[in-house]
Amino acid sequence: MSEADTLYSKLYAEGYPPGPTGMLWEFLKARIPDMKGLRILDAGCGPGVMVKRFMSVGCRVAGMDVATEAVRQWGGPEIIQGSLTRLPWADNAFDLVWCCDVLEHLEPAEVPVALAEMARVAPRLIASICTRESGWKGMKDLHRTVESDGWWMERMIHTYQERIDMWTEHKHWLLVDANLTKPNP
């Protein structure tokens, strides 16, 4: 078990809540009103809250989380344990990667690697990124990469070549829609 697997498995066993799924779901529905048939990877899916929601609207979905406890809680083949820095899927296996409240949990050096991997398996990324320390049970070190909007934008532009359809700040959250199929500006 990796250090991250141990930590997040313990947190999920204690009832660690999913990120701002309601807010981001509304953001996603506004961006893609008809999701039926989309192939979606929920990267950092936890115990599958959004996997279930995607399935309910007709998406073909796979999930992955670092925590074996999250996979155990789901109990089905749709969610596997793994790392965002080494996605086990083929190039362009998905239409979209959904990554809600995950990237800030990586070490800064892992962020560009994870973004490149997500861009490899899907041309589009919809994500939320928290730009402040975690407030969950006083565990300030959960968010390993607490950086400015500019820091995150730099990394997104490097990976998605300025094809950022939407970049907005909502309180302490960045909401991102990056799309490699969009013509380069």
pLDDT in tens for each of the 185 residues of the chain? 788 888 878 877 887 766 666 777 888 888 899 999 999 999 999 999 899 999 999 999 999 999 999 999 988 889 999 999 999 999 999 999 999 888 988 999 999 999 999 999 999 999 988 776 666 555 667 777 878 888 888 998 889 887 887 777 666 778 888 888 766 65
- State the pLDDT at residue 64: 96
Q: Could you give all domains of the chain from N- to C-terminal order, each with its CATH number?
A: 3-179 (3.40.50.150)
With a threshold of 0.85, does the pTM exceed it? yes
- State the pLDDT at residue 25: 83
Distance (Å, whole) CA 102 – CA 18: 10
- State the pLDDT at residue 122: 97
- State the pLDDT at residue 145: 80
Closest among 167, 184, 85, 155 to 126, alpha carbons compared: 167
- State the pLDDT at residue 4: 82
- State the pLDDT at residue 115: 95
Distance (Å, whole) CA 91 – CA 25: 25
Closest among 114, 95, 97 to 4, alpha carbons compared: 114
Between the two ends of the chain, the Cα-to-Cα distance in Å is 43
Closest among 58, 135, 46 to 98, alpha carbons compared: 46
- State the pLDDT at residue 34: 94
